[in-house]
Amino acid sequence: MFIDIPNQLEAALASLPLPPWELDGSLLVKRTMERYRAELTAAPGFEETVAALRRALTGQDGGYAVLRLGNLARALGTGDRFLRLATAFAAEVAVPFSPFPKWPLWKDIGVKTAKDPGKSSGTGYNAFHMDLVNATLPPDYTTLLCVRPDPLGGGLSILSDAHAAVARLPEDTRALLAEVAYHYGTFYDLFGVGEEYKPFPVLDGSAPGRGFVRFTAKMLERSQLSQAHTDAARKLAEELVRGQISFMLQPGDYLIVNQRRFLHGREALHSGQEAVPVSDRRLLLQLFLRARAGDGVVV
């Protein structure tokens, strides 16, 4: 699931000045995606790299990929030119958009020592979850571009195959997870993700191995659930941890997660973040993607 960029492709991309993107509201417009594709398809190895990326995300045993863009990040820096290349790769998977109108297309996820430790910008363990779990139309993909890892060595990314975890649960637990009894979080000032879904089922009634597994471990502590539904969700959380994959994102690594298959999270950052200058702390950039109709995403 780790995809290296061939040397010839890296050289071609490093000298390719892509134009600025255009948005329609918070959605990347079609002409920008077409322009990026026209510029990139002539680059040697681009089509093969994109094919490998798509297979990793939607193939039978897939669900996530890490595109290794580190050499390009070092050559170009992580400013506009580099972000246009990352956006162009993302647009080969699905349609980039921002569900947060107050944010640009790419949202910063830095480290704030005063923040709730379990939040994405906190310093603690960020338990398994899907993004925008309480939306009727969550993003099909969530993506994280690493600008800087934790300089103290913490913050491993964690992933788990949600459907494999569900399959290991007993039938009575799955039945509880399929009930419309779960809720978490707030819902306001959002774009392109439908309506608030409250309450919602963790399992949406799709055939086994299909559909979203609407889960966030944070609802175990922060939502009022019945004991039976809490116990069922806790069993799922345990199975997710049992099957987890972990790795450290390096500068320029671009993680793309198919939210219909995998849930994600983060191990705690190393202690001592208060002593790290803000400009040196871990920094990720987040971008969401909406699948095109008929593009092979499992639904």
- For residue 195, the 8-state DSSP code is S
Q: According to the 3-state scheme, what is the secondary structure of 38-80?
A: HHHCCCCCHHHHHHHHHHHHHCCCCCEEEEECHHHHHHHCCCH
> Which amino acid belongs to residue 287?
L
* 159 in Cβ contact with 245 (< 8 Å): yes
> Does residue 296 have a pLDDT over 60?
no
What's residue 207's pLDDT? 76
What is the DSSP secondary structure assignment for residue 213, as one 8-state letter?
B
Give domain limits for the chain. Answer: 2-290
Average predicted confidence (pLDDT) for the chain:
95
CATH of 2-290, one of 3.40.640.10, 3.40.190.10, 2.60.120.10, 3.60.130.10: 3.60.130.10
What local confidence, expressed as pLDDT, does residue 243 receive?
98
Question: What pLDDT digit, counting tens, does each position of 187-204 carry?
Answer: 988 999 999 999 999 998
Inform me whether the pLDDT recorded for 298 exceeds 70: no
Dmax (CA) of the chain: 58
Q: Is the pLDDT of residue 212 over 60?
A: yes
Please say if the pLDDT value at position 153 is more than 50.
yes
pLDDT above 70 for 299: no
Cα 1 to Cα 59, 69, 86, 280: the distances in Å are 11, 14, 17, 28
Q: Please, what is the end-to-end C-alpha distance for the chain in angstroms?
A: 21
**Lowest-confidence segment of 79-83, 120-124, 157-161, 183-187 by average pLDDT:** 183-187
Does residue 264 register a pLDDT over 50?
yes
Residue tagged 């510029």 (tokens): 39
No. of helices (H) and no. of strands (E), the chain:
9, 13
State the pLDDT at residue 101: 86
Contacts of 173 (CB under 8 A, 6+ apart): 232, 235, 236
Helix, strand, coil percentages (3-state) for the chain, rounded to 5, are 30, 20, 50
